[in-house]
Structure 1
Amino acid sequence: MEFRHLDAAGLEAVRHLVLAVHTEVRHQDFGMTGDFHSGARFDLRLSAYAARPGWAAVIGYDDGEPAGFCFGIPLAADTRWWRSMNPPLPAGLVREDGHRTVALNEIVVRKRWRGTGAARRLHDTWLARRTEERVTLLVDPGAGGGRVKTVYESWGYRTLGEQQPFPDSPRFTAMIRPVTPEHPPPSS
């Protein structure tokens, strides 16, 4: 698989691709419906994330065909990321400065590449360029019958609690781990 890194300046050249893969996976494969999961709302979130300092993405290609993507941003001092946590977290845990924590906002892999390790390779390739000390993500605990959360746990993430960042979004499990795990996966 070939990985292409991009920053916000490179987004417009691949926006159509990111939106198409998102729609294919979220709507067609997983049947996610409702306004929160619509392509238009995803595009708005994508634009909002890409407008923040430090946004970066990785797109994985297999023989020229997009297999998936991931992207995220560092959490700024004024982040709202932790505000809807249930239970609320200690102030020291959620203190942000734009350099402490990076949020993995999305990781999406097309059906043909699921179960091949593509998601882990996208994740690790994206993290390899990060300078923050820790990474956080939100996962729908029911996704894949709970298997998606289990995958993240196998990558070293631990649960911090739950949050619902938008009134019409799912209730997500918030997870965190060091950017560089204490026990990296065996090389293959």
Structure 2
Amino acid sequence: MTVEIRHYTAGGLPEIRQTILDIHAEVRHKDFGLTGPFYSVERFNERLSTYASRPGWTAAVAHEDRDPVGFCFGVPLGPDTRWWKPMITPLPEEMTKEDGKRTVALNEIVVRRPWRGRGVAWQLHETWLAQRQEERVTLLVNPAAGDGAVQAVYEAWGYRKIGDQQPFPDSPIFASLVRPVKRS
């Protein structure tokens, strides 16, 4: 299935913010039953604003006809990034030294239930990455999501686990994964 994917920079966030928040609530709360302060729409909106305030933030939103079906967004890791700080086992410095051009973090990728299993997440992911100039992409995944199936999907996309981290005191422990932006 092919969907229409539109790209946005931080300047376009007001146009897509409510769509992103609505999809987040539908998928995280209704579909996956994720509750608690960390998963609240308010906290997610705060994180969205924080990510979008950083240089280089971009998003991609997929539509089929007029229906929004999913989104992804991320931001490059700058020299002052805290991304690698919450690693449970610290990584070597050569893995974590950032300059704003080396690594882009895929902060979120979410697809609504009726469009899951149809290749939409892959299309979003690859279309978003095609616009990126960084060397590598990193993301966090809850290893319990889908009884490990979500992490397995990322690994099938070429990601490899490099460790675990807990970025917020009330967040789950996430697997930290990385892969080249351009696959050979």
TM-score of the two chains, using structure 2 as the length reference: 0.98
Provide the residue aligned with 2:132 in structure 1. 130
One-letter identity of the residue aligned with 1:19 = L
From 61, 76, 82, give the equivalent of 1:74: 76
Specify the alignment match of 2:171 in structure 1.
169
Match of 2:161 among 139, 159, 164: 159
**Which amino acid is 2:11 matched to?**
A
Structure 1 portions without partners, runs of 5+: 183-188
Q: Displacement of 1:81 after TM fit?
A: 0.3
Aligned partners of 2:97 and 2:66: how far apart in 1? 41
Superposed CA deviations along residues 40-71 of structure 1, whole A, max 9, x for unmatched, are: 00000000000000000000001110110000
1:3-82 mapped onto 2 (5 Å cutoff): 3-82=5-84
Secondary structure in 1 matching 2:147: helix
CA distance in 2, matches of 1:29, 1:4: 25
Alignment partner of 1:141 is 2:165: no
Q: For each residue in 1:107-155, what CA deviation from the matched residue of structure 2 results, as whole angstroms up to 9, or x when unmatched?
A: 0000001000000000000000000000000000000110000000000
Q: Which amino acid aligns with 1:57?
A: A
Distance in 1 (CA, whole Å) between partners of 2:146 and 2:65 is 27
> How far has the Cα of 1:181 moved from its partner?
1.2
Percent sequence identity is: 60
What's the offset of the Cα at 1:86? 2.0
Q: 1:10, CA displacement in angstroms? A: 0.4
CA RMSD of aligned residues (A): 0.5
Q: Count residues in correspondence.
A: 182
TM-score by length of 1: 0.96
SS in 1 for 2:179: strand
Q: Which runs of 5+ in 2 are unaligned?
A: none
